[in-house]
A and B are shown apart, each in its own frame.
Chain A
Amino acid sequence: MTVGTPATAEAARAPVHAGSNVEAIVYPTRRDEAWRYAPHADLGRLTFGRPADSPGDAPLGIEGRAPVIEGLRIVVVDGRFDPLRSDLADLPEGLELLPLATAIEERPDDVAAHFAADPNEPDAFVSLNRLNGRDGAFVRVDEGCRLEQPIHLVDISTSRPDGPATCTGAVIHLARGASCSIVETHLGTGSGFGGSNLRSTITLAADASLTHVVLQDVPAEQIQLTRIEVHVAESSHFRARAFNLGASYGRLDYRVELIGEGAMADLAGLYAGNGDQTLDQQITVIHRVADCTSRQAFRGILDDRSTGVFNGAIEVSPGADGTDAEQSNDNLLLSTRAEVNTQPRLEILADEVACKHGATVGQLDDDALYYLRSRGVPADQARQLLIAGFAEQTVDEIEIDAVRAWVAERLGHGAVDADA
């Protein structure tokens, strides 16, 4: 069941036996577009297997590194639900919130799609999550139920030297007309190599509305893979806010399908790297039917020797007329060794469409720096102000105060705002 280091490129491409579920798992290589800039040697070091029966032993207070969000919370440590750190008391009417392991037992039909093998899915790590994931969160919001309080899903990975990478899952379903906010926070402890491979499957019925926030801040030695699959039905609204901040290799992979007329997807994100980090955003928005709207707006700030990757696609299927899609990716390089690879793609097979995309790469504006310094702002602070200004567009779009404060603090802009 354990997948070890492939010795050669040939071995890497060869199918890996995956236990009783007979399914060929082929590791990606640099030749796979979606994995072009990934650290393949490190990915090969990750091991996979079923999680232990009980949650890992994370230090007390680790949740304190997550934003302080009042209300319901599911905490998963090393792929297992941790009842002591979670808070499932006083569930409001119309909400079902339970550990995924419980849902597998009690509601097998509702989680079947999450675990169903997809022959068209070429991604090895998605398959590994499906095969090895046994716990996480199950969220179901009933018809017409509109929740005020955000739901917080926290995933913690303790890097144990010989433990498998965690494979946590979240299954989220909003029924017709339902609405809520969900914050997924990904944290880790320890200083050794490790990894987590998370996957959320989200379905929005007609007229539903979901705000889904991802805060990724695991230690810089760990690999973090996050895959989010969304199906948006007619007149539904999926709003994603993603902050890809931690990990040696932090990968955020959205696959959003607009399957009902008038559906809308609005994805915005920020990645900020330093040290030797590689932060990789893989975004695919597919317009399957007519008259849907989508927006992708991702910004990157790269310092030291960090690498930013944006591979965003707008795919418009035949017949999806009236599509209105937009995509932008702006990057700020702060160091001579930092690097950005951006690939904003359009694949369009319908004719009545309006699709636009744009990408920019640049550094801090010398004129703006000079302007600030000439008004007595110290160089460092002037730099910080401009960086904060660049990030602000994304940060300001978060509606949950606690999350906005957490992001500002994490980016080190809290102090600047106070002074300014």
Chain B
Amino acid sequence: MTDQRLELEQLAEAGYEYGFTTDLDTDIAPPGLDEGTIRLISAKKNEPDWLLEWRLKALAAWQAMEEPDWAKLEIDPIDYQSISYWAAPKPKPQLESMDEVDPEIREMFDKLGIPLHEQKMLSNVAVDAIVDSVSVTTTFKETLAEAGVIFCSFSEAVNDHPDLVREHLGSVVPVRDNYFAALNSAVFSDGSFCYIPAGVRCPMELSTYFRINSQNTGQFERTLIVAEEGSHVSYLEGCTAPMRDENQLHAAVVELVAKDRAEIKYSTVQNWYPGDENGVGGIYNFVTKRGRAHTDAKISWTQVETGSAITWKYPSVILQGDRSVGEFYSVALSSKRQQADTGTKMVHIGADTTSTIISKGISAGRGQNTYRGLVKTMRSAENARNYTQCDSLLLGKDCGANTIPYIEVKNPTAQVEHEASTSTVGEDQLYYCRQRGMSEEDAMSMIVNGFCREVFDELPMEFAVEAQRLLSVSLEGSVG
């Protein structure tokens, strides 16, 4: 108990422990966004003409669009011309091995707790680390190559596997999908690309680590995962950013393609800097994530969202093929002055498709937490099934919880169920724990972790531990 107590105290004092900055020699573009910016990004990356065209098309689409305002979010106006759309650590000579990665970058990742070096030996996780906009290093390439799995930065993929990228880029999230997706399509700088050949079970869990390091930069990464017929992959994503007083924009796009009988499991632990108690600073996390599941395929999203000043994110599954399966497991925590408007969309097109949504929202401090979800069964979705459960926990007088589900059913054989509850931690629950010698904070932490159990159980082991720890840290000070 004492040890645990000590740990909690340390955590409490730590505050946002990833708030350090690293002085990397950075190649940064002047702020502003116009055609010239796009051409600069494209030229910096030696991109083929078709990709430049694609970006320019996206820019034109974005310029014609209006910023969405339907979310229950209070967003300070974003000046898109004051953001720098390109920031990269200055290139170093070609590296022979992991050991040659810039020691400063390695040190930064050590602080983050993902020592690339050690992970190579100790754990079975391949990491693609992205600092600001550029993929710095990808570990475990060889082992993956043996299995035929391609896991590399997006830029590399454009160079080495242009046909694959061209075929799938924008196939799930079209350029004009929404304001932030269009912006991303125009300016995305890097990201991860992953390709699992038919019938292959990816031999290890793949992982990307995002970090915004430079000041005044946005991060616009793009992830594309293509799982061929009968393949299987589990993908992890983690995010942090340094503490800064101004808001930073993160507008990412993730596209998943699960071909027949393929399975993609995508897990996120998002811990961008949330800003301080007064709502100063923090990341605007406006992300479009969507997967298309073909016949008998399965796509599963798991997310733990504890960071960001504002989260606007709806990981979705288009259940295109018959018998395809979509899952969404989410824990979203808003404390301090954080705002989260998050949920999922399950679009049932194929027959006998099933989807499950489990969402746990926790509001503390002055946090505002909204679950917004759509379950849509099209006329063709014979015997579609959906089960949705949204629970909200309110900790404190000044926070809020909203549940806004949309259910649209056009097929009578569909069965759709939605349940939701909103409550607080009961005095009796706390009393019971206190009576058995637990401190109030330990008790609260345990109860909240229990509330989230269904979601944490879906996370891979290392992430589950991290998620629990994150939750305890984020709740410090807002309990009692």
Do A352 and B424 form a contact, CB below 8 Å, given A339-B408, A346-B403, A358-B419? yes
Q: Which residues of A contact B379 (CB under 8 A)?
A: 336-337
Q: Is A270 an interface residue (CB 8 A)?
A: no
Do A362 and B400 form a contact, CB below 8 Å, given A340-B407, A343-B405, A353-B423? no
Contact indicator B408/A341 (Cβ below 8 Å): yes
Q: Is A228 an interface residue (CB 8 A)?
A: no
A347 to B396 CA separation, bound complex (whole angstroms): 15
Q: Which residues of B contact A334 (CB under 8 A)?
A: 412
Beta-carbon contacts of A342-356 to B below 8 Å, as 1s and 0s? 111111111111111
Beta-carbon nearest neighbor of A311 in chain B:
B406
Beta-carbon contacts of A322-347 to B below 8 Å, as 1s and 0s? 00000000010111111111111111
Q: Is A372 an interface residue (CB 8 A)?
A: no
Beta-carbon nearest neighbor of A330 in chain B:
B417
A333 to B399 CA separation, bound complex (whole angstroms): 38
Would you list 20 pairs from A and B whose C-beta atoms are within 8 A, ordered by A residue?
A333-B411, A334-B412, A341-B407, A342-B406, A342-B407, A342-B409, A342-B418, A345-B402, A346-B401, A346-B403, A347-B402, A348-B400, A351-B394, A355-B422, A355-B423, A356-B419, A356-B422, A357-B420, A360-B418, A361-B414
Do A360 and B422 form a contact, CB below 8 Å, given A343-B404, A346-B392, A346-B403? no
Beta-carbon nearest neighbor of A332 in chain B:
B412
Do A336 and B411 form a contact, CB below 8 Å, given A353-B424, A354-B423? yes
A319 to B394 CA separation, bound complex (whole angstroms): 13
Beta-carbon contacts of B15-26 to A below 8 Å, as 1s and 0s? 000000000000
Q: Which residues of A contact B70 (CB under 8 A)?
A: 31, 33
Q: Is B8 an interface residue (CB 8 A)?
A: no
Do A351 and B399 form a contact, CB below 8 Å, given A346-B422, A356-B421? yes
Beta-carbon nearest neighbor of B413 in chain A:
A363
Q: Which residues of B contact A356 (CB under 8 A)?
A: 419-422
Contact indicator A353/B422 (Cβ below 8 Å): yes
Q: Which residues of A contact B424 (CB under 8 A)?
A: 351-353
A341 to B405 CA separation, bound complex (whole angstroms): 10
Q: Is B429 an interface residue (CB 8 A)?
A: no
Which of A's residues lie within 8 Å of B, judged by CB? Answer: 31, 33, 318-319, 331, 333-363
Q: Which residues of A contact B392 (CB under 8 A)?
A: 346, 348
Contact indicator A345/B394 (Cβ below 8 Å): no
Q: Which residues of A contact B401 (CB under 8 A)?
A: 346, 348
Contact indicator B409/A331 (Cβ below 8 Å): yes
Top 8 A-B pairs ranked by shortest CB distance?
A333-B412, A351-B394, A346-B403, A359-B418, A361-B416, A349-B400, A355-B422, A363-B412
Q: Is B87 an interface residue (CB 8 A)?
A: no
Q: Which residues of B contact A358 (CB under 8 A)?
A: 417-420
A348 to B72 CA separation, bound complex (whole angstroms): 13
A341 to B416 CA separation, bound complex (whole angstroms): 11
Q: Which residues of A contact B423 (CB under 8 A)?
A: 353-355
A242 to B394 CA separation, bound complex (whole angstroms): 33
Do A360 and B416 form a contact, CB below 8 Å, given A344-B405, A355-B421? yes
**Residue from B404, B409, B412 whose CB has the most chain A CB atoms within 10 Å:** B412
Contact indicator B407/A348 (Cβ below 8 Å): no
Beta-carbon nearest neighbor of B416 in chain A:
A361
Contact indicator A351/B397 (Cβ below 8 Å): yes
Beta-carbon nearest neighbor of A31 in chain B:
B70
Q: Is B395 an interface residue (CB 8 A)?
A: yes
Contact indicator A338/B412 (Cβ below 8 Å): yes
- Nearest Cβ in chain B — how far from A340, in angstroms? 5
Beta-carbon nearest neighbor of B414 in chain A:
A361
A358 to B388 CA separation, bound complex (whole angstroms): 9
A357 to B418 CA separation, bound complex (whole angstroms): 8
A340 to B403 CA separation, bound complex (whole angstroms): 19
CB-contact partner of A359 in B397, B405, B414, under 8 A: B405
Q: Which residues of B contact A348 (CB under 8 A)?
A: 392, 394, 400-402, 422
Known: A333-B409, A342-B409, A362-B415. 14 other contacts (CB 8 A): A341-B406, A341-B408, A343-B406, A346-B401, A348-B392, A348-B402, A351-B394, A353-B424, A356-B421, A356-B422, A357-B419, A358-B417, A358-B420, A363-B413
Q: Which residues of B contact A341 (CB under 8 A)?
A: 406-409
Q: Is B410 an interface residue (CB 8 A)?
A: yes
A110 to B180 CA separation, bound complex (whole angstroms): 52
Beta-carbon nearest neighbor of A358 in chain B:
B419
A33 to B406 CA separation, bound complex (whole angstroms): 11
Q: Which residues of A contact B400 (CB under 8 A)?
A: 347-349
A335 to B408 CA separation, bound complex (whole angstroms): 15
Beta-carbon nearest neighbor of B390 in chain A:
A346
Q: Which residues of B contact A357 (CB under 8 A)?
A: 403, 418-421
| Chain B contacts with A in 189-205, Cβ cutoff 8 A | none
Contact indicator B412/A359 (Cβ below 8 Å): no
Question: Size of chain B's interface in residues, with CB distance under 8 A?
Answer: 34
Q: Which residues of A contact B404 (CB under 8 A)?
A: 343, 345
Beta-carbon contacts of B229-266 to A below 8 Å, as 1s and 0s? 00000000000000000000000000000000000000
A347 to B404 CA separation, bound complex (whole angstroms): 8
- Nearest Cβ in chain A — how far from B416, in angstroms? 4
CB-contact partner of B402 in A33, A346, A362, under 8 A: A346
A346 to B370 CA separation, bound complex (whole angstroms): 9
- Nearest Cβ in chain B — how far from A358, in angstroms? 5
Q: Which residues of A contact B409 (CB under 8 A)?
A: 331, 333, 339-342, 361
Beta-carbon nearest neighbor of B427 in chain A:
A352
Q: Which residues of B contact A360 (CB under 8 A)?
A: 415-418
Q: Which residues of B contact A362 (CB under 8 A)?
A: 414-416
A341 to B417 CA separation, bound complex (whole angstroms): 13
Q: Which residues of A contact B422 (CB under 8 A)?
A: 346, 348, 353-356
Q: Which residues of A contact B397 (CB under 8 A)?
A: 318-319, 350-351
Q: Which residues of B contact A346 (CB under 8 A)?
A: 392, 401-403, 420, 422
- Nearest Cβ in chain A — how far from B403, in angstroms? 4
- Nearest Cβ in chain A — how far from B376, in angstroms? 9
Beta-carbon nearest neighbor of B410 in chain A:
A339
Do A361 and B421 form a contact, CB below 8 Å, given A347-B402, A348-B401? no
Q: Which residues of B contact A354 (CB under 8 A)?
A: 421-423
- Nearest Cβ in chain A — how far from B339, in angstroms? 13
Beta-carbon nearest neighbor of B374 in chain A:
A343
CB-contact partner of B412 in A336, A343, A345, under 8 A: A336
- Nearest Cβ in chain B — how far from A276, in angstroms? 14
- Nearest Cβ in chain A — how far from B367, in angstroms? 11
Q: Which residues of A contact B416 (CB under 8 A)?
A: 359-362
CB-contact partner of A351 in B395, B402, B403, B421, under 8 A: B395
Beta-carbon nearest neighbor of B398 in chain A:
A318
Q: Which residues of B contact A335 (CB under 8 A)?
A: 412
Q: Which residues of B contact A351 (CB under 8 A)?
A: 394-397, 399, 424
A360 to B398 CA separation, bound complex (whole angstroms): 32
- Nearest Cβ in chain A — how far from B340, in angstroms? 14
A345 to B397 CA separation, bound complex (whole angstroms): 20
Q: Which residues of B contact A345 (CB under 8 A)?
A: 402-405
**Residue from A319, A334, A363 whose CB has the most chain B CB atoms within 10 Å:** A363
- Nearest Cβ in chain B — how far from A337, in angstroms? 8
Beta-carbon contacts of B44-71 to A below 8 Å, as 1s and 0s? 0000000000000000000000000010
**Residue from B418, B421, B423 whose CB has the most chain A CB atoms within 10 Å:** B418
- Nearest Cβ in chain A — how far from B44, in angstroms? 39
| Chain B contacts with A in 410-455, Cβ cutoff 8 A | 410-424
